[in-house]
Structure 1
C-alpha cells in the first residue's frame, strides 16, 4: 500500500518534471524564434548597406549612351566608396557624379545648380550665379534666382537630364521645387529626366497642414503636408501622376530606385545637404524649427547649432543664450551680434512628428507679440495656410491645432500610395 502510494507519487513527480521540461523547451524554442527574427532584422538593416541610385551605374549608363547629358547636382551628388552592386564599377573613393560620368566618357554638357549652388556654400535665399566649374570647365547654370526653370536655349544641346540631389523630406526645402521646374522644362521640350533616388532622412512620418493653392510659392508648390514622407524619386512620380506640371504635362521620367531601403530605416546623411543642416539632429528638427524663419525668432543661423536651438532678444531669460555671428551659410544672420535667450534642443530625442510646442511657447512668452510674425507673410508661405498663424494667435493648443490636420493627412496618405517605391 505504502509502496503503491510512493510509486504513484514518484510517477506523478516524473510526469510533472517532463511536462515542465517540455514547456521550458517550448518557451525556449519560442524565445529562440523571436530572437532569430530579431537577429535577422538587425542583420538585414545593418549589414546590407543602402545603395543609392547614383551608385547603380549599370542601371542608367545604357540610358546615356550616345546622349548629350545635363546634370542637376550639388555637393551631395556623389557615388559612395565601397557601396556597390555586383555590376557597378568599384570606385576607389567617394566621387562626384559629374566627375564619374566624365571618367566613363559620358557626354556631359552642363550642370544645373539649385539653391545654395553647385558646391553648396551659398546662403539660404542668396542668388546663385551662373559660372564655370573650375575642375571640369563645364558651364554651371543657376536654377535659383530669376532663372528657376531651364530655358529652351539652355536645353537645346541636351537630350537627357539627370537629377541627383539629396532632399530632407520637408515641403519648404526648395530642391523639390527645382525638381518640379526641371520636370516641366523636360516635358515641354521632350527631354528625358532620370532621377537618381536617395533616402529621405525624415521619411518615417507624415505631418503638417496641407498647402492651400492660393499660398503656392517656391517654398511650397504642391498640395502636400509639411513633412510628406516621400523620397525624391517618389515625389517626382507624384508630380507626374497628379498632373501638377503646367497644363497637365507629363515628363518622360525614369527613377533609379534605392536598394536595401525602407522608410523606417534611420539614415544619417554623410554629406550635409545645405550649409545650415550640419547633422542628423538639425535635419530631424528642421521641419519643426523652420517655422521660426517667418518670425522674429532665430533658429540658430550664425551659430554652430543651426536648427538645433532657438531664441531671440524678445524672449525671457533662460538657462541658455547665444549670439548669432556671420559665418559660412549665414552672412547676415537674424539678430546678428545680439544676445538671444532661448533653448538648446541639440540633445533631445528624435522627433517623429512636427513639434509645434517650440513655436507656441515662443509666441506665448515673447515681449512683442505684434512683431512676432514677420510682416512679409513668409510664415504663411512656410505653413501653406493662414490658419496656423491665426490658431496660434487665438491660443489654440498643439493637440487642437493638429486635430485640424487629420482629414487632409488621411486624404494625402491615400493619394500618395500609388507612387510609393518602398515599404
Structure 2
C-alpha cells in the first residue's frame, strides 16, 4: 500500500504542473482590448503678414575706406645751417597758415654772401661803364684815323666782357638773395603738422627732412566699388561731370550717429588687379571743421560710405528677414488665407531689403513674415494681428468674419 501511494504521488505531480501551465497559457493568450489613442490636435499655421506695394526704390551703395590727406609732403631744408627758431605752429598736430614762417636757419653767412655779391655787382657795373666809354671814344677816333681798327675791336671785346661780368654779378646777387630768403622755411599751404623731425640748434643740409605736413582745405577717401555696384551708379569720369553725393559715417563708433557729407569727384580709371574693383575718390571739404564747427574727420580714420545710386522703378522691397535660403518667400492669399511658397530672383539687395521686380509677385497676396518650419502650398493659415500703431493689417479677420485670436 505504501509503495502504491508513492507511485500515485509521483504520477500526480507532473499532471498538476501540466494543468497549471495550461490554465496560465489560457489566461495569457486572451487578447487585451486596447483603448484607441486620442486623436492628435490639428495645429493651425499662424503668421504675421505684410502688404506688398510696387514702388520706386532708390539704391544706396554701401562701401568703406580710410580718410587720407589729398596733399601730404615732407618739408625739407634747401640750405645748410643751424636752426635758430622753430615756430609754435611747427609742433605735431599744430595748424599753420600758408606763408607762415615755420623754421628759421642761421642767416649770418647768407647775409654776408649777399653783401659780397652786391659789391661785385657794383664793381662789374663800373667796369662796364668804363668799357662802354672807352669803346665810344675809339669809335669816334677811328673816323679821323687816330686809332687803328684793331684798337676798336679790342675796346668792343672789353665792353662785351664787362657786360658778361655784370650779368654774372647780378645773377650772383639774385642767388645770394634767394639763399638768404631760404633761411626762413615758409608753409606752402594751409595745413597741419603730422610729424616734426628737427629741433632748435640742429644743423641742416640741403634736402634734409624737417617734418611731415599735410593740407587741411579738404581730405579724400578712396572707396572701392564692385562690378555689381557699378551698374547702379553714374560716376564722374571727366572734370565737368556732376559729382555724386556721399554720406560718411565713423566705422569705429557707428553708434555715434555723426555723419559727414562728401562728393565723389573722380575715379582712378582702372580696376584693381586683385579685387577687380574700381576705386572712386570722395572729397570732404573742411574735414577738421575749422569753418563749419562740424566734428573733425581725422586723417587715417576708417569710414563707411553711403553713395546715392540710381532709382529702381516698379519694384517690390521685401524685408530681408522674410526671405529664406536667399530666394524663398511665402505668400498668403488675401481671400482664401492659404499659403503659396514662391522662389524669386532679386535685382538688388542691401542690409534691410531684397528688391524684386513688381511683376514677380502675384496680385492679391500678402507676404508672410513669421518663420514657419513647414509651409505646404494651399495650407490654411491664421493671420496674427500686428499690434503696432502703423500696422496696415491690424484687424485681420478669419473666413467666417470673426476676429482672429492672437492666442
* Fold match by TM threshold 0.5: no
Compute the TM-score of the two structures, normalised by the length of structure 1.
0.16
Compute the TM-score of the two structures, normalised by the length of structure 2.
0.17
Considering fraction of residues, name the structure with more strand: 2
Q: Which structure ranks higher in relative contact order (CA pairs < 8 Å, sequence separation ≥ 6)?
A: 2
Considering fraction of residues, name the structure with more helix: 1
Larger Rg: 2
